[in-house]
Amino acid sequence: MMQIAKAKKIFNKVLLYMLLCFLASVYILPFLQIIGNSLKTYWETQEVPPKLFPKVPQWNNYMDIWVKMELPLLRWFMNTVFTTSMIVLGIVISCSYIAYGFSRFNGKGKNFWFSAIMCTMFIPIFAKIIPVYIIYGKLGFIDNFLALIVEPFFGSAVYMFLFRQFILTIPRDLDEAALIDGAGYLKIFAKIIMPMLKPAVAAVSILAFVAAWGDYFTPMIFLRTSTKFTISVGLAFINSTVTSGRSNAHWLAAVTVLTSIPSLIIFFSAQKYFIGGLTVGAIKG
Amino acid sequence: MKKASMKKMLAAVLGLIMVITIMAGCGGSKKSDGPAQSPPETSTSAPGGNDKDTASTISGEIKYNFWGDASQLEAINRQIEQFKEKYPNINVIANASDWGTYWEKLRTESAGGQAPDTFAMSTTAYLPYFAELGFLKDVGELDAKDDSFDIGIYNPAAIQLCSYNGKVVALPQDMNVIVMAYNVDLFEKAGVEPPNEDWTWDDLLKAAQLLTLDANGNNALSPNFDKNNIVQWGIANLSDYLDGFVDPMCYSNGGSAYTDDGRSNILAEGTVKSFRFLHDLIWKYHVAPDFDVVGGSWFSNDLFAQGKCAISCLPSYWLFSYAGGEDKVPINFEAFELPKGDTGKRYNAVQSKAICIYEGTKNVEAAWEFVKFIAGKEMAGKVAASGSGMSAIDEINQTIFMSDAPGTEATKKVMLKAYDNPCPVPKIIGIGDLNWLVGNDYLNMIIMRDPEFKMETLEALDKQVNAMIEQLKP
């Protein structure tokens, strides 16, 4: 009887792992294809049917993207690091503070304003881009990184909601104890709430990082000078098939692999915070 | 201890970000930070008829945006340096984007009142849109006031492409044709006669059938032909290339995608016949790859470039990529005009890339001088010689294009002759988006991926095109 139960357990585990391996391969296959393409010659990337890996790996592709393409790749990379860092910083600072207000304080119209902010989540960027462009034009933000980094300092509904849900799990007793001891609200936020928000900060930072790093539309619209492009816009620039009749698919793949490395490093090094931060608020709510 | 090491790590990361941000903020590019205006150090020769005094008095900074890749941006910047020799006080900043990004950006910039002073324009895809909304300056008026320049140097067809409602709103930088190309060696190997003046679409089909081979070497007419194991295709799948290939085919058969008065003509007999023919090339005759194999006509062209497909299309601005330089295609090809249809006529797409002046520019004088320079004879000659495009100036095509552009003489002669059979271009606002709807969304995604050719799909497309035309009217 015990042996049957044990066999059943092993069988279930094997089945589960087979399913997980299958799902993992489905998710990882496109990335493997890109890695494979980055090591092929141009003509190998155009083969039909496509092969996953090249006959002879062309490691020189990773040198050619710096030497032969004559594009400011390092500049684009640094631009992306700068804008992404500022966006993440802006989101963490503004959204945590706004969420603190909504979770700890009551006031007339609080629910209305909270709902109004939540509703902004449903407005697509394409619907507001022209009025935003006009405003930014008058402010002198066009072709300037300010067009990308100012808005996050004014909050974002999605991340504000995440922070709020997390702050609601922090006992109010701590705030009250600090108040009794004479601490102001700003000090309570900085010294008590923020240290306890680490998992949420990690989760929001990763989400904001990935979104900002890969953002194409906003930099595409607001940045004109090619040396100010971010990586995502630069990748589109590399792949100008229409004019030359030839895509640089192998080089594009090499640049894609390099530019996805930061996102992967950030995620894998902070994934426990990411998962913890997303789930704690959900369970205890 | 753990807290201390976490703090140290955080401090290190923040410090690194600070260093990177400082480095990103420092420095600049010669191309983005234009040099401050300074008086000329050497005397300059009189540009295009303007005297030296006029050239040095015109000053200011203007922006020029265009679609292209990095090598083209480099080429434009070299041209700007030459322009600066003639106009030392005009600072031009050029920016390039890929095709898709360029139009999205230009629309937003124009609507936001921030369009660049001068920009490239696709006369067949987007000129009516920007002209109708009043974003393009009337350059005909500027030409009339300028004795040093005459738009009469251009081919009348190019000026027609650059006009809207009777006004010339752009100067043509080039005038290109879309013809077809065949792989000479594959034709010889299969013993198929090369395309000739009298070819019809049926002749093209017969040749494609003889040139489509399976893994065992059987062609598409053979009873042993294995349609699931094709290693060489007779013709590329060009079904989503509406303005360059499909519409000229429709016209040759007495149809067209749009009527002259700007309505959908999808259900006309000649149009339906052409769509069905393209569909049959994939599903009935198995001589063209379906889109699940190649994803789109641009990728289909790659099959031709690799020698796995015998016939494809060839825009004249691809000559430098196909026939010039180190990376030219490893095949022996020649061009031919699109075959004749039921009307007994043939049509070839003729397209012009133009340069416009933004109506809201603050420096009309400088913008006009730059536009004249870029679209002028000297630059047109360089473009034609490089194989990046044919010229809108006939004299340059007859001389520089024929003698200096890459490609064989026969191919270049075909391209010149293609001017004689231009496919009409309707002046519909938003035709660029319409072509995308018809070509990519319907022909690529629905009609050509469905093994069954359905009239209901065409009827739905007809309705959608008319609805979109109404929507795009200002």
Asked if B60 has any chain A CB less than 8 Å from its own CB, the reply is no
Residue B195: Cβ within 10 Å count: 22
The SS3 call for residue B121 is strand
Chain A CB contacts of B320 under 8 Å are: 244
Higher pLDDT, B188 or A47: B188
pLDDT of residue A226: 82
* pLDDT at residue B183 is higher than 80: yes
| pLDDT digit string, tens, across residues B458-467 | 999 999 999 9
- Interface test mutation site (partner B, options A42, A71, A231, A242, max chain B beta carbons within 10 A): A242
Whole-number Å distance between alpha carbons of A238 and B69: 7
B185-194: which pairs have CB atoms within 8 A and are 24 or more residues apart? Answer: B185/B307, B185/B331, B185/B332, B186/B211, B186/B232, B186/B307, B186/B310, B187/B211, B187/B310, B190/B219, B190/B310, B194/B334, B194/B336
Higher pLDDT, B54 or B232: B232
The encoded tokens of residue A172 equal 């109010």
Query: What is the residue type of B268?
Result: A
Q: Do B104 and A130 touch (CB under 8 A)?
A: no
What does the pLDDT average to over B103-131? 92
The SS3 call for residue A156 is coil
Average pLDDT, chain B: 87
What does the pLDDT average to over B116-127? 94
What does the pLDDT average to over B291-314? 82
The two domains B52-175+352-375 and B177-351+407-472 share their CATH topology (first three levels equal):
yes
What are the distances in angstroms from CA B117 to CA A135, A223, B58?
Answer: 20, 16, 15
What does the pLDDT average to over B95-115? 88
Chain A CB contacts of B321 under 8 Å are: 244-246
Q: Which residues pair with B355 in a beta bridge?
A: B120, B171
pLDDT of residue B20: 60
Q: Do A244 and B32 touch (CB under 8 A)?
A: no
| pLDDT digit string, tens, across residues B251-290 | 999 999 999 888 999 999 999 999 999 999 999 999 999 8
* CA of residue A238 relative to chain centroid, distance: 22
pLDDT of residue A121: 87
**Omega before A199 within 30 of 0, i.e. cis:** no
Phi, psi of B62 (to 5 degrees): -130, 155
ipTM, interface predicted TM-score of the complex:
0.71
Q: Which residues of chain A have pLDDT under 70?
A: 48, 70, 239-247, 273-285
Asked if A74 has any chain B CB less than 8 Å from its own CB, the reply is no
Whole-number Å distance between alpha carbons of B187 and A142: 54
Asked if B68 has any chain A CB less than 8 Å from its own CB, the reply is yes
Please tell me the distance in Å from A50's CA to the nearest CA on chain B: 9
Chain A CB contacts of B306 under 8 Å are: 43, 46-47
Asked if B302 has any chain A CB less than 8 Å from its own CB, the reply is yes
Task: Kindly list the domain boundaries of chain A, sorted by start residue.
Answer: 70-284
The closest CB to that of A82, out of B20, B68, B302, belongs to B20
Phi, psi of A13 (to 5 degrees): -65, -40
What does the pLDDT average to over B26-49? 35
Please tell me the distance in Å from A244's CA to the nearest CA on chain B: 6
Query: Which of the four CATH numbers 3.20.20.70, 3.40.190.10, 3.90.1010.10, 3.30.479.30 does domain B177-351+407-472 have?
Result: 3.40.190.10
Whole-number Å distance between alpha carbons of A243 and B388: 9
Asked whether the beta carbons of A83 and A148 are under 8 A apart, the reply is: yes
| pLDDT digit string, tens, across residues B53-79 | 667 788 899 999 999 877 788 889 999
pLDDT of residue B33: 34
CATH architecture for residues B52-175+352-375? 3-Layer(aba) Sandwich (3.40)
Asked whether the beta carbons of A175 and A239 are under 8 A apart, the reply is: no
Phi, psi of A140 (to 5 degrees): 80, 25
Chain A CB contacts of B303 under 8 Å are: 46, 48
Whole-number Å distance between alpha carbons of B131 and B180: 31
Asked if B13 has any chain A CB less than 8 Å from its own CB, the reply is no
CATH architecture for residues A70-284? Orthogonal Bundle (1.10)
**Helices then strands, each counted (H, E), chain A:** 16, 0
Asked if A126 has any chain B CB less than 8 Å from its own CB, the reply is no
pLDDT of residue A282: 52
pLDDT of residue B299: 66
Whole-number Å distance between alpha carbons of B314 and B411: 10
Chain A CB contacts of B74 under 8 Å are: 70
Q: Do A220 and B73 touch (CB under 8 A)?
A: no
Asked if B99 has any chain A CB less than 8 Å from its own CB, the reply is yes
Residues contacting residue B159 through CB under 8 Å, at least 6 positions apart:
B151, B168, B172
Q: Do A236 and B28 touch (CB under 8 A)?
A: no
* pLDDT at residue B111 is higher than 50: yes
Q: Which residue has the tokens 């900074």?
A: B61
The encoded tokens of residue A57 equal 């790996």
Per-residue confidence band for B4, with pLDDT thresholds at 50, 70 and 90: low
What are the distances in angstroms from CA B161 to CA A244, B115, B175, B255?
Answer: 22, 22, 9, 21
pLDDT of residue B29: 38
Whole-number Å distance between alpha carbons of B352 and B359: 21
Task: Kindly list the domain boundaries of chain B, sorted by start residue.
Answer: 52-175+352-375, 177-351+407-472
CA angle B201, B204, B209 (to 5 degrees): 130
Q: Do A75 and B29 touch (CB under 8 A)?
A: yes
What does the pLDDT average to over B448-459? 90
pLDDT of residue B30: 35
The closest CB to that of B73, out of A81, A133, A226, belongs to A226
Please tell me the distance in Å from B147's CA to the nearest CA on chain A: 34
> Got the DSSP string for B380-432?
HHHHHHHTS---SSHHHIIIIIHHHSSS-HHHHHHHHHGGGSBPP----TTHH
| pLDDT digit string, tens, across residues B138-162 | 999 999 999 999 999 999 999 999 9
- Interface test mutation site (partner A, options B114, B117, B290, B320, max chain A beta carbons within 10 A): B114
The closest CB to that of B29, out of A227, A236, A240, belongs to A227
Phi, psi of B27 (to 5 degrees): 70, 180
Asked if B31 has any chain A CB less than 8 Å from its own CB, the reply is yes
Asked if B104 has any chain A CB less than 8 Å from its own CB, the reply is yes
Whole-number Å distance between alpha carbons of B318 and A246: 9
- Interface test mutation site (partner B, options A224, A251, A255, A266, max chain B beta carbons within 10 A): A224
Chain B CB contacts of A69 under 8 Å are: 70
pTM of the model: 0.77
